[in-house]
Amino acid sequence: MLLAGGVGGARMARGLVGALPPDSLSVIVNIGDDERFHGLTVCPDLDTVIYTLGNVVHAQQGWGVAGDTANALGMLRKLGAADTWMHLGDGDIGLHLFRAQCLAEGASLTSITARIAKALKVKAAVMPASDDPAPTLIETDEGSQRFQQWFVQQRAQPAVRALRYMTDEARLSGAAAQALAEADLIVIAPSNPLLSILPMLALPGFRDALAKTRAQRVAVSPLIGGRAIKGPLDRMLGDLAIGEGNAAIATLYGDLLDRLVIDESDHADVDRLKAAGVPQVQLAATRIGDRAAATELARAVLLASGVELNHDVWRTA
Ligand code: FO1
Protein backbone atom coordinates (compact mmCIF):
# COMPACT_ATOMS: atom_id res chain seq x y z
CA MET A 1 0.00 0.00 0.00
CA LEU A 2 1.37 3.38 -0.97
CA LEU A 3 0.39 6.93 -0.05
CA ALA A 4 1.28 9.11 -2.98
CA GLY A 5 0.96 12.46 -4.65
CA GLY A 6 2.81 14.26 -7.38
CA VAL A 7 5.35 12.89 -9.80
CA GLY A 8 7.59 11.40 -7.08
CA GLY A 9 4.64 9.43 -5.77
CA ALA A 10 3.76 8.09 -9.22
CA ARG A 11 7.34 6.97 -9.83
CA MET A 12 7.45 5.17 -6.44
CA ALA A 13 4.19 3.44 -7.38
CA ARG A 14 5.78 2.25 -10.60
CA GLY A 15 8.76 0.90 -8.64
CA LEU A 16 6.47 -1.04 -6.29
CA VAL A 17 4.49 -2.49 -9.21
CA GLY A 18 7.82 -3.75 -10.56
CA ALA A 19 8.71 -5.45 -7.29
CA LEU A 20 5.32 -6.83 -6.18
CA PRO A 21 2.51 -8.93 -7.66
CA PRO A 22 0.68 -5.90 -9.20
CA ASP A 23 -2.70 -6.79 -7.70
CA SER A 24 -1.21 -6.67 -4.20
CA LEU A 25 -0.67 -2.90 -4.34
CA SER A 26 -3.16 -0.20 -3.35
CA VAL A 27 -2.26 3.43 -3.96
CA ILE A 28 -4.09 6.11 -1.96
CA VAL A 29 -3.68 9.40 -3.78
CA ASN A 30 -3.80 13.05 -2.73
CA ILE A 31 -6.76 15.09 -3.97
CA GLY A 32 -5.67 18.46 -2.56
CA ASP A 33 -4.39 19.51 -6.00
CA ASP A 34 -7.75 18.85 -7.66
CA GLU A 35 -9.29 21.83 -9.37
CA ARG A 36 -11.98 22.71 -11.90
CA PHE A 37 -10.87 23.91 -15.32
CA HIS A 38 -13.33 24.79 -18.11
CA GLY A 39 -16.11 23.13 -16.12
CA LEU A 40 -14.15 19.87 -15.77
CA THR A 41 -12.76 18.33 -12.57
CA VAL A 42 -9.01 17.83 -13.03
CA CYS A 43 -7.32 15.43 -10.53
CA PRO A 44 -3.59 15.84 -11.28
CA ASP A 45 -2.22 13.39 -8.70
CA LEU A 46 -4.76 10.63 -9.48
CA ASP A 47 -4.21 11.10 -13.22
CA THR A 48 -0.41 11.18 -12.90
CA VAL A 49 -0.41 7.88 -10.95
CA ILE A 50 -2.80 6.27 -13.45
CA TYR A 51 -0.97 7.51 -16.55
CA THR A 52 2.35 6.38 -15.02
CA LEU A 53 1.14 2.90 -14.03
CA GLY A 54 -0.70 2.65 -17.35
CA ASN A 55 2.59 3.44 -19.14
CA VAL A 56 1.04 6.32 -21.07
CA VAL A 57 2.46 9.22 -19.06
CA HIS A 58 4.52 11.94 -20.75
CA ALA A 59 7.75 10.63 -19.19
CA GLN A 60 9.85 13.79 -19.44
CA GLN A 61 7.10 15.97 -17.84
CA GLY A 62 5.94 13.32 -15.38
CA TRP A 63 2.30 14.31 -15.98
CA GLY A 64 -0.16 14.34 -18.88
CA VAL A 65 -0.37 11.86 -21.76
CA ALA A 66 2.65 11.05 -23.94
CA GLY A 67 2.30 12.40 -27.48
CA ASP A 68 -0.86 14.32 -26.61
CA THR A 69 -2.05 17.12 -28.92
CA ALA A 70 -3.46 20.46 -27.66
CA ASN A 71 -6.14 21.40 -30.20
CA ALA A 72 -8.89 21.89 -27.61
CA LEU A 73 -6.60 24.12 -25.55
CA GLY A 74 -5.75 26.08 -28.70
CA MET A 75 -9.44 26.71 -29.33
CA LEU A 76 -9.99 27.67 -25.65
CA ARG A 77 -7.19 30.22 -25.97
CA LYS A 78 -8.68 31.56 -29.23
CA LEU A 79 -12.01 31.95 -27.43
CA GLY A 80 -10.32 33.87 -24.61
CA ALA A 81 -11.17 31.20 -22.00
CA ALA A 82 -9.75 31.66 -18.48
CA ASP A 83 -6.99 29.54 -16.91
CA THR A 84 -5.51 28.28 -20.17
CA TRP A 85 -2.10 28.46 -18.43
CA MET A 86 -2.96 24.94 -17.20
CA HIS A 87 -1.78 22.81 -20.11
CA LEU A 88 -4.52 20.25 -20.76
CA GLY A 89 -3.88 17.96 -23.73
CA ASP A 90 -6.68 16.54 -25.88
CA GLY A 91 -6.36 12.99 -24.53
CA ASP A 92 -6.24 14.32 -20.97
CA ILE A 93 -9.37 16.37 -21.63
CA GLY A 94 -11.04 13.17 -22.85
CA LEU A 95 -10.42 11.66 -19.42
CA HIS A 96 -11.73 14.80 -17.67
CA LEU A 97 -14.90 14.70 -19.84
CA PHE A 98 -15.44 11.06 -18.83
CA ARG A 99 -14.93 11.91 -15.15
CA ALA A 100 -17.27 14.92 -15.39
CA GLN A 101 -19.98 12.78 -17.01
CA CYS A 102 -19.66 10.06 -14.35
CA LEU A 103 -19.70 12.64 -11.52
CA ALA A 104 -22.80 14.24 -13.05
CA GLU A 105 -24.45 10.77 -12.98
CA GLY A 106 -23.72 10.61 -9.24
CA ALA A 107 -20.79 8.18 -9.31
CA SER A 108 -18.16 8.54 -6.57
CA LEU A 109 -14.60 9.62 -7.40
CA THR A 110 -13.49 6.24 -5.99
CA SER A 111 -15.65 4.27 -8.44
CA ILE A 112 -14.77 6.54 -11.37
CA THR A 113 -11.04 6.21 -10.61
CA ALA A 114 -11.36 2.41 -10.51
CA ARG A 115 -13.08 2.45 -13.95
CA ILE A 116 -10.39 4.71 -15.43
CA ALA A 117 -7.57 2.60 -13.97
CA LYS A 118 -9.13 -0.60 -15.36
CA ALA A 119 -9.63 0.94 -18.80
CA LEU A 120 -5.98 2.03 -18.85
CA LYS A 121 -4.84 -1.49 -17.83
CA VAL A 122 -3.58 -0.43 -14.40
CA LYS A 123 -3.46 -3.51 -12.14
CA ALA A 124 -2.82 -1.77 -8.82
CA ALA A 125 -5.86 -0.42 -6.96
CA VAL A 126 -5.69 3.39 -7.30
CA MET A 127 -8.03 5.40 -5.10
CA PRO A 128 -8.53 8.99 -3.95
CA ALA A 129 -7.99 9.62 -0.22
CA SER A 130 -11.51 11.09 -0.15
CA ASP A 131 -14.56 11.26 -2.41
CA ASP A 132 -15.15 14.81 -1.22
CA PRO A 133 -13.41 17.95 -2.50
CA ALA A 134 -10.66 19.01 -0.07
CA PRO A 135 -8.51 21.60 -1.87
CA THR A 136 -5.14 22.77 -0.57
CA LEU A 137 -4.93 26.58 -0.47
CA ILE A 138 -1.58 28.36 -0.53
CA GLU A 139 -1.33 31.53 1.56
CA THR A 140 1.23 33.97 0.08
CA ASP A 141 1.90 37.69 0.53
CA GLU A 142 -0.56 38.23 -2.35
CA GLY A 143 -3.29 36.38 -0.41
CA SER A 144 -4.81 32.93 -0.70
CA GLN A 145 -4.21 30.99 -3.94
CA ARG A 146 -5.65 27.80 -5.35
CA PHE A 147 -2.97 25.14 -5.60
CA GLN A 148 -2.55 25.00 -9.40
CA GLN A 149 -2.65 28.80 -9.66
CA TRP A 150 0.42 28.92 -7.38
CA PHE A 151 2.17 25.77 -8.58
CA VAL A 152 1.66 26.16 -12.33
CA GLN A 153 0.62 29.71 -13.17
CA GLN A 154 3.12 31.27 -10.75
CA ARG A 155 5.62 28.40 -11.01
CA ALA A 156 5.60 28.07 -7.19
CA GLN A 157 7.58 31.35 -6.97
CA PRO A 158 5.60 33.32 -4.29
CA ALA A 159 6.89 32.46 -0.80
CA VAL A 160 4.46 30.25 1.13
CA ARG A 161 3.28 31.87 4.37
CA ALA A 162 0.83 29.08 5.29
CA LEU A 163 -0.95 26.09 3.85
CA ARG A 164 -4.67 25.50 4.35
CA TYR A 165 -6.03 21.99 3.90
CA MET A 166 -9.76 22.52 3.35
CA THR A 167 -10.65 19.10 4.75
CA ASP A 168 -13.29 19.97 7.41
CA GLU A 169 -16.20 18.93 5.15
CA ALA A 170 -14.34 15.94 3.69
CA ARG A 171 -13.97 12.38 4.96
CA LEU A 172 -11.44 9.61 4.45
CA SER A 173 -13.05 7.37 1.81
CA GLY A 174 -14.32 3.93 2.81
CA ALA A 175 -12.02 2.23 0.31
CA ALA A 176 -8.97 4.11 1.60
CA ALA A 177 -9.89 3.37 5.24
CA GLN A 178 -10.22 -0.32 4.38
CA ALA A 179 -6.91 -0.34 2.50
CA LEU A 180 -5.17 1.29 5.47
CA ALA A 181 -6.68 -1.25 7.88
CA GLU A 182 -5.82 -4.30 5.73
CA ALA A 183 -2.29 -3.34 4.64
CA ASP A 184 0.78 -5.27 5.79
CA LEU A 185 3.03 -2.38 4.80
CA ILE A 186 2.23 1.29 4.22
CA VAL A 187 4.83 3.23 2.23
CA ILE A 188 4.65 7.02 2.21
CA ALA A 189 6.13 7.93 -1.19
CA PRO A 190 8.94 10.47 -1.62
CA SER A 191 6.31 13.08 -2.48
CA ASN A 192 6.28 16.61 -1.10
CA PRO A 193 4.94 16.04 2.45
CA LEU A 194 3.47 19.56 2.66
CA LEU A 195 1.66 19.38 -0.68
CA SER A 196 0.91 15.69 -1.19
CA ILE A 197 0.92 13.80 2.13
CA LEU A 198 -0.19 16.22 4.86
CA PRO A 199 -3.33 17.14 2.86
CA MET A 200 -4.31 13.45 3.20
CA LEU A 201 -3.31 13.25 6.88
CA ALA A 202 -5.55 16.30 7.49
CA LEU A 203 -8.63 14.36 6.37
CA PRO A 204 -10.76 13.45 9.42
CA GLY A 205 -9.97 9.84 10.27
CA PHE A 206 -6.75 9.49 8.27
CA ARG A 207 -4.21 10.02 11.07
CA ASP A 208 -6.31 7.80 13.32
CA ALA A 209 -6.32 5.03 10.67
CA LEU A 210 -2.53 5.31 10.36
CA ALA A 211 -2.11 5.22 14.15
CA LYS A 212 -4.36 2.14 14.49
CA THR A 213 -3.16 0.05 11.53
CA ARG A 214 -1.21 -3.16 12.15
CA ALA A 215 0.89 -2.34 9.06
CA GLN A 216 4.50 -1.27 9.20
CA ARG A 217 4.62 2.44 8.25
CA VAL A 218 7.62 3.49 6.21
CA ALA A 219 8.27 6.89 4.63
CA VAL A 220 10.83 7.58 1.91
CA SER A 221 12.40 11.00 2.32
CA PRO A 222 11.96 13.25 -0.75
CA LEU A 223 15.18 15.13 0.12
CA ILE A 224 18.77 14.24 -0.68
CA GLY A 225 21.40 16.37 1.02
CA GLY A 226 18.60 18.64 2.13
CA ARG A 227 17.63 19.33 -1.49
CA ALA A 228 14.38 18.38 -3.20
CA ILE A 229 14.92 16.15 -6.22
CA LYS A 230 12.03 17.94 -7.93
CA GLY A 231 9.73 20.82 -6.93
CA PRO A 232 9.68 23.54 -4.25
CA LEU A 233 9.87 21.47 -1.01
CA ASP A 234 13.25 22.67 0.33
CA ARG A 235 12.31 26.34 -0.29
CA MET A 236 8.91 25.81 1.38
CA LEU A 237 10.51 24.28 4.47
CA GLY A 238 12.57 27.47 4.77
CA ASP A 239 9.61 29.80 4.10
CA LEU A 240 7.56 28.01 6.76
CA ALA A 241 10.51 27.72 9.20
CA ILE A 242 9.92 23.99 9.61
CA GLY A 243 13.62 23.14 9.64
CA GLU A 244 15.56 21.44 6.89
CA GLY A 245 16.65 18.13 5.52
CA ASN A 246 15.61 14.70 6.77
CA ALA A 247 15.06 16.05 10.30
CA ALA A 248 12.26 18.26 8.92
CA ILE A 249 10.68 15.24 7.20
CA ALA A 250 10.79 13.30 10.48
CA THR A 251 9.19 16.27 12.24
CA LEU A 252 6.38 16.47 9.68
CA TYR A 253 5.51 12.77 9.99
CA GLY A 254 6.02 12.67 13.76
CA ASP A 255 5.05 9.47 15.53
CA LEU A 256 3.27 8.01 12.48
CA LEU A 257 6.48 6.34 11.27
CA ASP A 258 8.05 3.00 12.09
CA ARG A 259 10.91 3.69 9.69
CA LEU A 260 12.30 6.54 7.61
CA VAL A 261 14.24 5.70 4.43
CA ILE A 262 16.91 8.28 3.58
CA ASP A 263 19.48 8.45 0.82
CA GLU A 264 22.74 6.62 1.52
CA SER A 265 24.60 9.90 0.95
CA ASP A 266 22.83 11.23 4.07
CA HIS A 267 24.25 8.50 6.34
CA ALA A 268 25.45 11.19 8.76
CA ASP A 269 21.77 11.91 9.61
CA VAL A 270 21.07 8.46 11.06
CA ASP A 271 22.08 9.09 14.69
CA ARG A 272 20.40 12.48 14.85
CA LEU A 273 17.14 11.07 13.40
CA LYS A 274 17.14 8.21 15.92
CA ALA A 275 17.87 10.69 18.73
CA ALA A 276 14.88 12.71 17.46
CA GLY A 277 12.69 9.65 17.95
CA VAL A 278 12.60 7.95 14.53
CA PRO A 279 12.37 4.24 15.51
CA GLN A 280 14.35 2.95 12.50
CA VAL A 281 16.34 4.65 9.76
CA GLN A 282 17.16 2.81 6.53
CA LEU A 283 19.81 3.92 4.01
CA ALA A 284 18.98 3.36 0.32
CA ALA A 285 19.50 4.89 -3.12
CA THR A 286 16.42 7.13 -3.07
CA ARG A 287 17.00 9.04 -6.33
CA ILE A 288 14.29 7.70 -8.68
CA GLY A 289 16.02 8.55 -11.96
CA ASP A 290 14.39 5.83 -14.02
CA ARG A 291 12.20 2.74 -13.78
CA ALA A 292 15.07 0.47 -12.71
CA ALA A 293 16.02 2.87 -9.89
CA ALA A 294 12.38 3.02 -8.76
CA THR A 295 12.15 -0.79 -8.68
CA GLU A 296 15.49 -1.05 -6.87
CA LEU A 297 14.32 1.43 -4.20
CA ALA A 298 10.99 -0.38 -3.86
CA ARG A 299 12.78 -3.71 -3.43
CA ALA A 300 15.09 -2.25 -0.76
CA VAL A 301 12.09 -0.91 1.17
CA LEU A 302 10.13 -4.18 0.79
CA LEU A 303 13.10 -6.36 1.75
CA ALA A 304 13.72 -4.32 4.90
CA SER A 305 10.02 -4.78 5.69
CA GLY A 306 10.16 -8.52 5.20
CA VAL A 307 7.44 -8.38 2.53
CA GLU A 308 7.27 -11.32 0.09
CA LEU A 309 8.70 -10.15 -3.25
CA ASN A 310 7.51 -11.04 -6.72
CA HIS A 311 10.45 -13.39 -7.38
CA ASP A 312 10.00 -13.90 -11.10
CA VAL A 313 10.44 -10.13 -11.48
CA TRP A 314 13.45 -10.44 -9.23
CA ARG A 315 14.98 -13.11 -11.54
CA THR A 316 14.28 -11.26 -14.79
CA ALA A 317 15.68 -7.85 -13.78
N1 FO1 B 1 2.31 21.12 -14.29
C2 FO1 B 1 2.91 22.22 -14.85
O3 FO1 B 1 3.98 22.63 -14.39
N4 FO1 B 1 2.33 22.89 -15.89
C5 FO1 B 1 1.14 22.51 -16.43
O6 FO1 B 1 0.65 23.16 -17.35
C7 FO1 B 1 0.52 21.34 -15.88
C8 FO1 B 1 -0.69 20.85 -16.40
C9 FO1 B 1 -1.23 19.65 -15.87
C10 FO1 B 1 -2.38 19.10 -16.42
C11 FO1 B 1 -2.92 17.93 -15.92
C12 FO1 B 1 -2.28 17.28 -14.87
O13 FO1 B 1 -2.78 16.12 -14.39
C14 FO1 B 1 -1.12 17.81 -14.29
C15 FO1 B 1 -0.59 19.01 -14.79
N16 FO1 B 1 0.58 19.56 -14.26
C17 FO1 B 1 1.14 20.68 -14.80
C18 FO1 B 1 1.23 18.96 -13.10
C19 FO1 B 1 0.48 19.30 -11.81
O20 FO1 B 1 0.35 20.68 -11.63
C21 FO1 B 1 1.25 18.64 -10.65
O22 FO1 B 1 1.57 17.37 -11.04
C23 FO1 B 1 0.51 18.41 -9.38
O24 FO1 B 1 -0.63 19.08 -9.20
C25 FO1 B 1 1.51 18.58 -8.24
O26 FO1 B 1 2.19 17.44 -8.07
pLDDT in tens, 90-127: 999 999 999 999 999 999 999 999 999 999 999 999 99
Asked if pLDDT for residue 153 goes beyond 80, the answer is yes
The dihedral region occupied by 169, where left means phi > 0, alpha psi between -120 and 50, and beta the remainder, is alpha
Our mutation pick for probing the ligand 1 site, out of 3, 76, 152, 197, counting the most ligand atoms within 8 A of Cβ, is 152
Q: Answer whether 91's CB lies under 8 Å from 45's CB.
A: no
Q: Answer whether 211's CB lies under 8 Å from 186's CB.
A: no
* pLDDT value at residue 231: 86
Our mutation pick for probing the ligand 1 site, out of 83, 88, 151, counting the most ligand atoms within 8 A of Cβ, is 151
The residue extents of the domains of the chain are: 2-136+166-316
Nearest to 231 by CA among 140, 145, 160, 134: 160
As a residue count, the chain comes to 317
Asked if pLDDT for residue 8 goes beyond 90, the answer is no
Q: Is 64 in the pocket of ligand 1 (CB under 6 A)?
A: yes
* pLDDT value at residue 2: 83
* pLDDT value at residue 107: 98
The arithmetic mean of pLDDT across residues 28-49, rounded, is 97
* Alpha-carbon distance values, 54 to 23, 120, 124, 187, 256 (Å): 14, 6, 10, 20, 31
2-136+166-316 under CATH 3.40.50.300, yes or no: no
* pLDDT value at residue 137: 97
pTM comes to 0.94
**Coil/strand/helix, residue 81:** coil
pLDDT greater at residue 231 or residue 56: 56
Burial class (CB in 10 A: 0-12, 13-18, 19+), 308: exposed
* pLDDT value at residue 317: 29
